[in-house]
Amino acid sequence: MAMASSSKQRTLPAFVFLSCLLVLVQFMGARNLFSMAANVTYSRRALLIDGKPRVLISGSIHYPRSTPEMWPDLIQKSKDGGLDVVETYVFWDLHEPVRNQYDFEGRKDLVRFVKTVAEAGLYVHLRIGPYVCAEWNYGGFPVWLHFIPGIKFRTDNGPFKAEMQRFTAKIVNLMQQENLYASQGGPIILSQIENEYGNIQSAYGQAAKSYISWAASMATSLETGVPWVMCQQADAPDPIINTCNGFYCDQFTPNSANKPKIWTENWSGWFLLFGGRAPYRPVEDLAFAVARFFQRGGTFQNYYMYHGGTNFGHSSGGPFIATSYDYDAPIDEYGIIRQPKWGHLRDLHKAIKLCEEPLLTADPTSPSLGPNLEAHVYKTATGRCAAFLANIGTQSEATVTFNGKTYQLPAWSVSILPDCQNVVFNTAQINSQATTVEALYLTSETQASDKATASSIVSLSDWTFVNEPVGISKSNAFKQKGLQEQINTTSDSSDYLWYSISIDINGNESFLSSTLQSTLHVESLGHVLHVFVNGNHSGSAQGTKITFDKPIFFTQGSNKIDLLSATVGLQNYGAFFDLTGAGITGPVQLRGQSGTLDLSSAEWTYQVGLKGEESGLYGSSVNSSEWVSLPSIPKNQPLIWYKSSFSAPEGNDPIVIDFTGLGKGEAWINGQSIGRYWPTNIAPQNGCNSCSYKGSYNSDKCQKNCGKPSQQLYHLPRSLVQSGSNTLVLFEEMGGNPEQISFAIKQVKSICGHVSESHPAPLVESNLSFKKITMNSTALLKLECPYPNQLISSINFASFGTPSGQCGSFSHGQCRSVRALDVVKQGCLGLKSCSISVSINIFGDPCERVIKSLAVEASCS
C-alpha cells in the first residue's frame, strides 16, 4: 500500500535529494555565518542584515534557568523548531552579587551562552535592561543597589543612572571584547535597554520622560553597531525601536513610520505561583496570534518563553513565584519538546517563511470577505503573491471565496496561502504529532515503577539530621527598639529573619486570663510567618498581608516569643516595586479581655538567617559532626535539616524529585540549590473548567491542576549529579517526612496524531521563484519516535471516522472504519517514523458526507 512511508525503507525522489543537499550547504554556511561583520539596520518593514530585510522568528531562553550542559540541546531544538533568533535577558543580580565583584561562571556564563547560540547558526537578541522583571527576584536588580545613598530606581536620579550605565557598559564591553556583536562578526543583532517602563511610567511623573531620553542616549552612545529597542515604550526616542509585549500584538503600530513592527514578548503561556493553578495556552490560539501579527505587517516575533526552565536557588521573584518556570513553553522545563505545541509552531514558521518575499517588499491589500473575516494580500511587482485569510469570529466556521476558489475557515483561525491559492497551514488545524510525558518513579531494585509501589531511590538507612535552633542562636544577633522591615534588615542574604522578645509574667497582667492565656496579634507584610512561644510552635500564616491572631499560653516568670519571618521571592514588577517591604511591621500585641500589651515599640532581638546556613550544612559542613544519626529520624517537626545520599539513575532522561511528604523548604544536591519546594501549597479546588482556544486568551482562561500541589515535581539537572554517591540536603521549614520523597525520570510515553480530511495537505515541493507550490493529494498523519534508536513498537489506538479525545484518552465515534487498526499497524510498526494518508481510499468510507478524521496513539521502544 502506498499510503505509508518511513525512515526505514523508501525510495527518495530527486527533489528530496536536492533538499538534503541544501540542508548540508546551509549547515556548512552556519559555521561561517558570523565570521564576517554584518551591518544591522532597519526600515519601516523589517530589520536589515547587510541591507537585506528579514522575517525573523525568535524565542526566549534564559541562560541561568538551565545549565550549560543543557544549552546546546535546547538551542538545537529551537533551531529545529524554526527559530532564527534566541532572546535572553541579562541578570544584573547574578553577575554582580556584590558591588564591583562580578561572576560569569557556570549558569552565569553569558559569553558561553551567546557563543553556543552562534555555533548553532542563530542570532541573539540581548536584552540588557538592566531591569528585567521576568518573575525574577527583585526584577533582576541586586539588592545592594537599594542601599546606595540617595538612590531612586528607574527615574531621573543621578545615583541610579550612574549604576545603570556602569553595568550596561560592563555587559556591552564584555560582548565587544569577545566580538559578539554582529558589527564585529558575532550573533547579536539587537539589544534592549529598559523594560516595559511605559506600563508604569505615569507613576514617576515628569522625571520619567527625561529618564527614558537619557537611557536611549546612554545606550546608543555605547556604539554596539546594532539597533536598540525599548519594549512597551510608546515614546521611545529615535533611533530606538519601540516594541510590543502581550498575548496579541497584531494591532500594534510603532511610534514612527520608519520603524519595523517588532513583538518582543509573545507569552506562550504564563508563570506558576505557589498556591496557584497551572496555566497553559492552547497552541491553536498561540499560532493564531503569531499568524495575525505577520498578516498585519509584523516581521520580528519572539516567544516568551520558548524554554522556560527552572528558578534555581532564590532566583524566583514574586512573591510566591514557583520554582518551576515551565511557562507552557514549546520546550518544557526539562528540555523535552512539548507536542503538539512545538511541532504546530514549527509548521507555522515554515509557512510564514514561504511568504517572506511578499511580506518584505509589498504593502497589503485587504479585499472584503464578510463579517469577522479578514484577508491581507501581499503581491510583489514581479507577481509573487501571499495571502492570509482570517476568521476572527469565535463561534462558527466560515466559507469564503477568494481568488475564485472556496475555502473553509474554522473559527478563530488564520489560513496561510504562500501562492495565494494553496492553503499550506491553518492555525486551528494541527497536523503535528502530540505526545504524553510521564514521570517514571524509581526504586533501587527496578529503577522504574508506578508511584503506588515506588520507594525512594535515596538510601533511607543513612538519613541524618540537625535541629535548627528556635530563636536566637548566632553570635551576630543584634537588639533594636521597634519592629524592623525585613529586606532592609537582611539585604536578602537569607529568606529568614528572627524577631525575638522576652516577657516576664507574674499572672496579674490585664492582657491575661486566669489560665495565663492571651491572644497574640501579629501583622506582617509576609511572606510566611511562624510563631513560637517558649520554644513550641504555635501556628503559621502566609500571604502578602498577614494578620495572625491565636490564643497562646504563658507560664509565670520569663517567657519568650520567637517570630520567624520568611520571604518567598522579592517583588519584581510595578511602579516603585523596589520599595515593597516584607516582614513583621506590626503591630505585635498581646490582647486580653481586660487590656492589651503592645510590643511593637519594645526592644527586640534580631537574627538574620539560620544557624545551619551560617555553618554551611548544605555545603562546606555537609560532613560535619553536627549531623545526628539515629535509628529513626524526627519527622513532622518544623525547623530541621535532613541529609541523605542516592545514586543517580542511568541514562540521559531528565531527573525530578517528588517532594510529597514534606512541607516547605529548600533542597541542595551536592551543594547546589535546586530551589525552594512547597508541595503542601495546594491550588484552589475550582477554576479548572474546560478551555476553548477560541476567543481572546488571558492568564486565567486556561488552567489545570486544581486541588493539587501547585508544584509536586522539581527538576534535578543531570549535570548536578555524579556517578556514585550524591548528597541531598533539605531544610524543612514546616515539618514533614523526608522518607516519603521519591525520584523519577521524565519520558515520552506515547506519540499521537489526530488529523482530519479537511486539514491542509503537506507541502511536497515549493519553488516560489517560479510561483509554484505542489501539495500532497491528501492530509497526512505523521508519527515519529522521539528518541534515537527507537522504533514504533505498538499501536495502542487507531480509529478512522469520528474519533474524539486527546492523546492518551482517544475514544471511537459512532462512525468508524474496521480497517483502521490493521492499516496503521502495517504502515507503522517497526519503523522510526511513518506517514498515513487520511483518505477513504485507504480506510474505506464508514459514513458518507461526513468529514472524517484519523486518530492514532502509538508507543516506541
Residues designated catalytic:
196, 265
Helix axes 110-119 and 71-80, enclosed angle (nearest 10): 40
What CA–CA distances, in Å, run from 135 to 8, 311, 527? Answer: 46, 9, 16
Rounded distance between C-alpha atoms, residue 185 and residue 35, angstroms: 5
Q: What are phi and psi of 473, to 5 degrees?
A: -140, 0
The β-bridge relationship of strands 672-677 and 536-542 is unpaired
Return the amino acid letter for 328.
D
Rounded distance between C-alpha atoms, residue 447 and residue 648, angstroms: 10
Neighbours of 35 (CB within 10 A): 8
The β-bridge relationship of strands 413-417 and 425-426 is antiparallel
Question: Which of 514, 503, 675, 683 is closest to 604 using CA atoms?
Answer: 503
- Scanning the structure block, which residue is given the C-alpha cell 549547515? 27
Rounded distance between C-alpha atoms, residue 619 and residue 672, angstroms: 8
Q: How far is CA 683 from the centre of its chain?
A: 19
CB of 720 closer than 8 Å to CB of 672: yes
- Scanning the structure block, which residue is given the C-alpha cell 475564485? 404
- Scanning the structure block, which residue is given the C-alpha cell 555565518? 33
CB of 664 closer than 8 Å to CB of 680: yes
Q: What residue spans of 178-270 are helical by DSSP H?
A: 206-220
What CA–CA distances, in Å, run from 92 to 138, 182, 495? Answer: 10, 23, 20
Rounded distance between C-alpha atoms, residue 577 and residue 581, angstroms: 9
Question: Which of 220, 226, 201, 224 is closest to 39 using CA atoms?
Answer: 226
Please classify residue 185 by burial: count the beta carbons closer than 10 Å to its beta carbon, then call 0-12 exposed, 13-18 middle and 19+ buried.
middle
Return the amino acid letter for 86.
V
Which three-class secondary structure string do you get for 309-363?
A: CECCCCCECECCECCECCCCCCECCCCCECCCHHHHHHHHHHHHHHCHHHHHHCC
Q: Is 717 helix (H, G, I), strand (E, B) or coil?
A: coil
Please classify residue 544 by burial: count the beta carbons closer than 10 Å to its beta carbon, then call 0-12 exposed, 13-18 middle and 19+ buried.
middle
